[in-house]
Structure 1
Amino acid sequence: MTSDPAIAVTGIACRFPGASDASAFWKLLLDGRHGASEVPPDRWTTDDWTNGSDAPRPPSRFGGFITGHSNFDHAFFGVSPAEASEMDVQQRLILEMAWHAIEDAGIDPTALAGSTTGVFVGMMSSDWTSMAMSSPAEMTPHRGTGGGYCMAANRVSYHLDLHGPSMTVDTACSSSLVAIHQAASAIRAGDIDTAIVAGANMMLSPALSVFYAESGLASTDGRCKPFSAGADGIGRGEGIGVVVLQRETDAITRSGLSYARILASAVNHDGRSNGISAPSMWSQIAVLESAYARASVNAADVDFVEGHGTGTVLGDMIESRALGKVLGVERSRPCLLGSVKGNVGHLEGAAGIAGFIKAILSIKNRVLPPSLFADAENEALGLSGKGMRLNDSIAKLPRTPIVGGISSFGMGGTNAHVVVGSPTDVRSPSRLSGTSVLTISANDDSALTSNVTALADFVDGVSPDRFNQIAYSTNIVKTGLRSRIAVAADTPSQGAAALRRAVLLRSGTASGRTPAPAFLFTGQGSQYPAMGRALERRCPVYSDRLREVVDAAADDLRPHLDRVLFDEDSAELVARAAIAQPALFAVQYALSAAFVDVGVRPVAVLGHSLGEFAASVTAGALTMSDALGLVSMRGTPMDSAAGAGGMLSVRADVSTIVAHVELDSTLCIAAINGPGSTVLAGATEALERAERVLAAYSPKRQRVTHAFHSPTMEPAASMLRASGIRVPPNATTVPFYSTLRGGEIDGADLTLAYWSEQMVRPVDYLGAMRALLADARPSHLIEIGPNGVLTTLARDIDTTGAERLVPMPGPASAGTEFAEVLAALYSQGTDVVWAPLYQQQHRTVRRLPGYRFDHDRHRLAGKPTLRFRSNVPAVESILDDTAVGAAHGGVSAESPLFTTATSVPDELDLETSICTLIAQLGGFETGEFTRSSRLRDDLGFDSIMAVRLGDRVNELLAPTPPIAVVDLADNLDTVGNLVDFVRHHTRTYPHTVILEGAN
């Protein structure tokens, strides 16, 4: 029989009694501890289950309870406090645990939007729903959506914008294992590639505890003792478990993110057995045989079974007999048996996923934790004669591959068994090298601080050889939210320190427009030996692009380029235009192309003299090879030009210079670099005279070999024109600002005649820069060259606040600056493509700490809230609809909110009144939102709340003609837009009645 395709278990998140996360859960298991405790006072008291003299049999005072279940970061999920307070606590916990499990799988949860990812939830009860729906008079819209079983899965699909199947499965105690089976079946069928599977159970009411007591199924001490001589019944527990399942691919195998593989699964039903609540051995045998047959696993190869193990005498007996019939074959060592219920209790609908998580953690760690109470095995079960041994201590799992099974049986007769095995073990070796960027994002600045701190603590403990992979993982998993920070670093200690420093220095989240950088390409004179070598050694994307252009050079030029770019002892070559100019072009092309490769695209480009060649390639006007040919042809005649002369920079404008010196064929303006920065070019004697005359304007001789951009260059320009070199310019795809023309030109104008004229005419950097700033309005000016020349010149120009960034700041460059620029751009809103920044060995996703939710924002009740009443009619009508009172951050029910007035309001009154309505309906505190807050995404105003808000706004405006609901809905994007829309409506239809804030 052919086995089913393997499915990888890539992500886990859980909260079980005594364990707040998967790491704590594993430690609890290894330590042989349990999470049982007395019933917390916020759950129930004796009065909740007694009824006079006819009181039922009392339930146990003990059980497995989790803590912190009332905490929920409603703002993170775009849920208003009013709605959050009326949601089943299981829905709230599943949302948070699903996010953590997806992150644990090495996936950015926001990246799943629009995918066919499926959500499958196992639940058999909802105390919240039973309590919230018990009184029709207390019903609210949010209670309806907050208590539905289907919503446990649908909430996850809605928040993450998932388009795959979304369902809640109820097969009693086997619910979550059946949900795993359903998810695996959907993956195998090709319906989906990824599934999020959850199991949930919360004990907010004593109802089921009383049922177990009345049925004689309850343990006397509230604890399950699976397969033990002391087994005396069920001890209840609660918790949430979530796993991520994915079709096993080469990428998942290489990443090492798979905890284990699902080899096969099977589900059946007892049919008409000896009672609807009694287990059937024959059906359990059938489901076991089916699962192992589908997995093509021999019974003798099963290393362990995570049993259902409720600790009831009848249940344990039937289950052990069924297991013995299937696994009781000749084997080299017994199959180990245990049940997690001894640690956390019977989690009912979540029982299956609790056992499943224990099993896959055991496979990943290659040890099986002890099963509690196993030291006193129930001899009547005869496990040794059935090929099994109750696991009473930590047991190594030596076989490769490991095979285990998980059983779960529902009270109504639905049985499930899942076969799991070792993941494909492919090592991903790594060696520390290069500069990496650590990224972290959060829902807002407050949450960002705690998440950055958590990441810094984690990075501090990372092995240096894993650091690049950890950084890459943050780029893949932690980049999708609005508020974000990035830092560049070479080592874990540097990264942790930089993260902590970034938190201290951060003044607020970047807002407004996404960064729109302009690229400024440096001219000749910025070169130096081995320019860019530090970056080439540390940055694969730059190194690859640099090698591309060097390899494209002519055979006689290539060795010189290699020496200039990589050898410190190349000063003589760097001074030669025929070598320096192609080398500068190579650096500029590689740097610009590297930025584009990582997703940083310019809104405009500008090149200073020689820099225009690489700028034209970035603009799409020339190909790299055509531009390189031009540059190579340009430099040679410059080297041989007679009467070389020189250049002189002066801190004065052109009119001042003209007033002091006479310009002629021996002395001319070569460059206008700023409002008070001009460069002269000419013969040596003429420059010396000008230097004396302009002594008051800080003249400075330039370190150049020729009088560039002067008539001296005309012979070289003539040679370039006469060469007939092929120049097929194209239309620009990025605006190109010419420093020859002083403004934007099209790529079709970049002819051979243009490039020849450019050699002898002055550079109008000031005019081109002013045009670029006016037209493109860049947010950043990025220097594309080996030194920070043009960004320095831009200091004297009004750049309208554009930030200057230098990714290669001269000979002292450490090679980290390119990554630092990327970090700065990402922090301010650029979506960077990170993979090219890393070597292939580093492009492996590793597990990271889960998102730190902001639980201090609101602490919501663990049970349905009580209603609030007011003797003020306007207040009461709103509170009746929202069931929100002072306890949930809303306006106090004792404080009048509105009165009626008969004067036309001013606009401040109107805005205040609308914002007060929003606060009431959503249960927000004063000042918790602003005009820019998005009503749907930030404040949770769904269609139901939008209709109710429309009704209240129209009541507010009466007797003005009402606003149509559809028109109001079209303006519900932000609070400010809604206020402005209503304000416009009031100006169109003046009214005389307004509800105003009362004193």
Structure 2
Amino acid sequence: MMSIEVMHWLRNEIAKLVDRKLEEIDIHKPFSSYGLDSSKTMILSGELSAVLNIPVSPTIFWDFPSLYELSQYLEGNTEAQKLNLEPAASLEKPDRREPIAIVGIGCRFPNASGSAEFWELLLQGGDAVSQYPDYREQLGEMKVERQGGYLDQIDGFDYPFFHVSYREAIRMDPQQRLLLEVAWDALMDAGISPDSWANTKSGVFIGISNSDYGRRELETSEDLHIHSVVGSALCIAANRLSYFLGLQGPSMAIDTACSSSLVAVHQACCSIWTGESQQAIAGGVNVILSNTVTSSLSKAGMLAANDRCKTFDTLADGYVRGEGCGIIVLKPLSKALGDGDEVYAVIPGSAVNQDGRSNGITAPNQASQEMLLELAYENAGIRPHQIGYIEAHGTGTYLGDPIEVKALGKVLSQDKVIDDIVYLGSVKSNIGHLESAAGIAGLIKCALIMKHGIVPANLHFQEWNPEIPQESFPFVVPTQSVKLRSGNDVYAGVSSFGFGGTNAHIVLGRPTHRLPGESESSPFLFALSASRRDGLSVLAQQYVDRLKHTSQTDLHAICSTLLKGRKHHEHRLAIAATSKETLLEALEEYTSAIDSNLPYKGYGHVLSKLPGVVYYFPEHDTRNGNVSEEMTNGDVIYQQSYFVVSQLFLQMASESVHGLGEWRTFAKQFAHAEMLRSWGVRPLSCLGEGVGELTAMVVEGQLSLPVAIERLVRGNYNSTMRAETKIARGDVVLCLSSAPVWFPRKDESMLICNCSDELGKLQLQGQLFMKGLIVPEWSDRKKQSHMLPGYPWNHHSCWKPLGKNESESNGITCFC
């Protein structure tokens, strides 16, 4: 048939299908403008196949979205084919940019809180889709009739932690609450103390496109407040994060519907590449609190009959809605390596484009998807054959999946090596379609794949959709966990498409090689903290469980992360240990003591007003006699200070007094004081007896070190009484450097500073940490921060039922 004949035939058939007059069918208008939906195109493609005697895929009506374009293509018009099928060549190849490292992940997805639980869900082939939670009806919410990927305890929020009043908290969109907690989890997972990012050019980019809670608050509440307006504004979802953390880089909410969160990641990377941001937080969130959208999608036939995303499968008939929140922390790779960060994966390049004029504003465009892939791989500086895994948009629709896979197949088949396999997957088969958070869910899954080298099974796949010409493509959909192709030149891609036509694709590379951890033969300081004492015990128990079920753990790196990469709260636990076994024993002893409401020596509570420190130098040291004392303490400053005193004394004194113990007492006390000064401890005052009086005078600046040693040589010092009037209520007395002959009053506390070895030094640092006086620095140690237990949130129920004010809301508390 000639193009004119095809055009007339199609025009007549379309008029019959949509019940329109022939003259109403304009050959230049998109098919969708006549109501030609997926079911009608299936019928039409079958009839067209019979007329032309060639197979015609229903997706052709999306590739060539008007009668004129389709008829030109079917006749073999090469210009039309070139126009619609060949990706446009980029005008200028971009300069290679430094890869961006994903150093932290925070997530709360259906049946999974945190990257460790999410990875376990994926490995186990977990299906997190379920009925709408009954408790939400008790909160006053309308029941959503369809199954979906829903979150537990959506009303829970630790508002005191974020310095938010209850009155404001109940008016905040739960999406804003989720973002605060999950972003904090992401920073903890990265081993980054949030305080270190304050007042820096750190960007926040959040994908968000809906606010069921905020909309109903503004439309139905009888006691509107400015908190209602702020709590429902989409821009505040990003701005509140920047405000709370004190960040001064770009801060923006991005709405491109289902591609929102992946576009947010792309924008975050671009901001870092241009220097606008030093580092960034990026991700997305989605919460479903209304049956309206679900009902509309269901009536439109867009939701799967059995509420499961059967991606790539012949039974694919729609998707299932889901909710959740995902956040990643991004840094330039060089900065991440310089900071000693653990890296999940790297982003060498990304791209975003638009479908343009397709078969309807919500219809996909294969040619645009091909251009997107080509541009992303060009920006990343890689060839398509290097891709080993694709986390597809993969909603599980009968025509959407083939269009996506055809675009992937055309691009990824370039330069393909025969044995190379590209695995395809979609996290939507596990947790549903998270809409504005869908892209970040797929990206987090992909980053975990790159980190572990394992591709989890894709659920609900049995037989290829017949519209996907898979035999000509190198694709495999894994039905059980498989190993990703080895090699540092193997990459992965993540796709996300907005229903308005905004497409995004991000390339991920393997993390950089990490040096092996340090030997665990030396002792280490394990430190935890929380804003509540019961939260600290929950956190301690989480570490007990983790240590019992983890065989390979670099405890030195973990301890370094806990000390350097955490914000330290009021309630603190510090344990100096020599092995995993001794640490476990101490942690279990602590949790048992807390359960029994008993005191524990390793626990401390930092007051809002830190105590003062008073040094007490005793007259005698019960451990005198070790000539090589300067070499037995593991602190360099201590060793150097002890050596200086010993050399000065030996030069000034005659051999007859070299064996006396007084100078060693003085040397130890002075060396301990210098060591404490290097840690940042500054005494309010010093007191001493005998030799200790000389040390006190030197530390307070009343005597120079040479003069004090000269007096020591001549025995010119008195056994004076200690000046207890220098000790105020609440002060901490540091006894340097042996057990005292007296003890302070009940309103004071005493710490014995006698660091004869590395373990003793760590024990003292732990005691000072629990008092809030120092945070030990292990600057030369690598971090191991990923997948450690998250912060023990103290969740209060913060919900404002329809038509009620805050006085009528509940205040339930639970830990999460």
Q: TM-score, normalised by structure 1?
A: 0.66
Contact map agreement 2:351 2:376 (CA 8 A) in 1:
yes
Q: Which residue of structure 1 lines up, in the alignment, with residue 36 of structure 2?
A: none
2:770 to 805, 827, 842: 827
**Structure of greater relative contact order (alpha carbons < 8 Å, 6+ residues apart):** 2
Q: Residues 761 and 806 of structure 1: is their aligned pair in 2 closer, same or farther, counting only changes over 3 Å?
A: closer
Distance 1:162 1:252, change over 3 A: same
Secondary structure class of the residue paired with 1:62: coil
- The CA deviation at 1:250 is 6.0
What are the within-5 Å matches in structure 2 for residues 516-595 of structure 1? 516-523=612-619, 526=622, 528-530=624-626, 537=632, 540=634, 542-547=635-640, 549-550=642-643, 554=647, 557=650, 576-577=657-658, 580-595=661-676
Pick from 784, 797, 803 the counterpart of residue 859 of structure 1.
797
1:407 aligned onto 2:495: yes
Q: 3-state SS of the aligned residue for 1:835?
A: coil
Q: Structure 1's 604 and 117: CA in aligned 2 closer, same or farther, altered over 3 A?
A: same
Alpha-carbon deviation of 1:761? 5.6
- Pair 1:505 & 2:599 matched: yes
Map 1:656-671 → 2, pairs under 5 A? none
In 2, the alpha carbon distance for the partners of 1:385 and 1:182 equals 35
Unaligned runs of 5+ in 1: 51-58, 562-572, 639-715, 717-758, 869-882, 890-923, 926-999
- Per-residue Cα deviation, 1:81-102 (whole angstroms, up to 9, x for no partner): 2222222111111211111111
Query: How is 1:325-340 mapped onto 2 (pairs within 5 angstroms)?
Result: 325-329=410-414, 330-331=416-417, 332-340=419-427
Distance 2:540 2:203 in 1: 30
> 713, 721, 726: which one pairs with 1:772?
726
Per the TM alignment, residue 630 of structure 1 is displaced from its structure 2 partner at its CA by 5.0
> How far apart, in 1, do the equivalents of 2:512 and 2:157 lie?
37
| Structure 2: runs of 5 or more not aligned | 1-92
The alpha-carbon distance between structure 1 residues 826 and 64, as it changes in their structure 2 partners (threshold 3 A), is same
Counterpart among 656, 678, 681 of residue 600 in structure 1: 681
**Alignment pair present for 1:422 and 2:510:** yes
| 1:437 pairs with one of 525, 542, 564 | 525
When residues 73 and 494 of structure 1 are mapped into structure 2, their CA distance, relative to the original with a 3 A threshold, is same
Look up the match of 1:14: 107
Give the letter for the 2:516 counterpart.
Answer: S
2:45 counterpart residue number? none
Q: Determine whether 1:782 maps to 2:734.
A: yes
Choose which of 275, 292, 295 in structure 2 pairs with 1:207. 292
- Shift in Å at residue 249 of structure 1? 3.0
Contact 2:342 2:784 in 1 (8 A): no
Structure 1 residue 333 displacement after superposition: 1.1
Q: Match of 2:810, as an amino acid?
A: H
Aligned position for 2:63: none
Deviations for 1:135-172, whole angstroms, at most 9, x for unmatched residues? 37553332222211112122222222222222111001
Partner AA of 1:516 in structure 2: G
Deviations 1:402-448 (A, max 9, x none): 31000001011111000000111122321124443322222233323
| Conserved 8 A contact 1:256-1:425 | no
The answer to whether 1:274 aligns with 2:359 is: yes
Aligned equivalents of 2:609 and 2:237: distance in 1?
Answer: 36
Offset at residue 762 of structure 1 (A): 3.0
Aligned partner of 2:575 in structure 1 is 487
Separation (CA, whole Å) in 2 of partners of 1:465 and 1:281: 47
Give deviations 1:532-572, integer Å, cap 9, x for gaps.
95x965x64x24431454268649959x99xxxxxxxxxxx
Amino acid at match of 1:779: D
TM superposition shift of 1:815 = 5.9
Give the corresponding residue for 2:718. Answer: 762
Structure-2 change in CA distance of 1:17 and 1:25 (3 Å): same
CA distance in 2, matches of 1:600, 1:556: 27
Q: 1:31 to 1:487 in 2, by over 3 A?
A: closer
For 2:708 and 2:223, the matched residues in 1 are separated by 80
Structure ID, larger Rg = 1
CA displacement at 1:294 relative to structure 2: 0.9
Indicate the larger mover: 546-555 or 30-39: 546-555
Matched-pair contact (CA < 8 Å) for 1:60–1:219: no
Residue 4 of structure 1: aligned partner? 97
Q: CA deviation at 1:853?
A: 0.7
- Residue by residue over 1:37-73, the C-alpha shift from the partner in whole angstroms, topping out at 9 and shown as x without a partner, is 123335579x9999xxxxxxxx973222222222222
What does the per-residue CA deviation read over 1:886-931, in whole Å, with 9 as the maximum and x for residues that have no partner?
Answer: 3334xxxxxxxxxxxxxxxxxxxxxxxxxxxxxxxxxx99xxxxxx
Whether 1:35 and 2:131 are equivalent positions in the alignment is no
> Do the aligned residues in 2 keep the contact of 1:581 with 1:631 (CA within 8 Å)?
no
1:753-803 per-residue CA deviation (whole Å, 9 max, x = no partner) reads xxxxxx44633233xx14533xx7671221223x22xx32x44xx768332
Structure 2 match to 1:115: 200
Structure 2 Cα separation of the partners of residues 368 and 489 of structure 1: 37
Give the alignment's TM-score, normalised by structure 2: 0.80
Shift of 1:377: 1.4
Evaluate the alpha carbon distance shift between residue 467 and residue 49 of structure 1 in structure 2; reply closer, same or farther with a 3 A threshold: closer
CA distance in 2, matches of 1:606, 1:577: 26
The residue aligned with 1:373 is 460
Question: How well do the aligned residues superpose, as a CA RMSD in angstroms?
Answer: 3.3
Answering whether residue 538 of structure 2 is matched by residue 450 of structure 1, we say yes
Work out whether residues 60 and 222 of structure 1, in 8 Å CA contact, stay in contact via their aligned partners in 2: no
Residue 479 of structure 2 aligns to a residue whose secondary structure is coil
Letter in 2 for 1:107: I
Matched to 2:599, the amino acid is L
Give the paired residue count.
Answer: 708
CA–CA distance in structure 2, aligned partners of residues 105 and 17 of structure 1:
22
1:29, distance to aligned residue in structure 2 (A) = 1.5
**Residue 354 (structure 1) aligned with residue 306 (structure 2):** no
Name the CA distance, whole Å, in 2 between partners of 1:465 and 1:381: 45
Bigger mean CA offset, 67-76 vs 578-587: 578-587
Match of 2:446, SS state, is: helix
Structure 1 residues 844 and 86: alpha-carbon distance in aligned structure 2, compared to 1, 3 A threshold: closer
Alpha-carbon shift at residue 500 of structure 1 (Å): 4.6
User: What SS does the corresponding residue of 1:416 show, helix, strand or coil?
Assistant: strand
Secondary structure of the corresponding residue to residue 350 of structure 1: helix
The SS at the match of 1:10 is: strand
Q: 2:753 aligns with which of 766, 786, 807?
A: 807
**C-alpha separation in 2, matches of 1:365 and 1:347:** 24
The residue aligned with 1:398 is: 485
For 1:65 and 1:21, the matched residues in 2 are separated by 15
Asked if the contact 2:392–2:424 (Cα under 8 Å) also holds between the matched residues in 1, the reply is yes
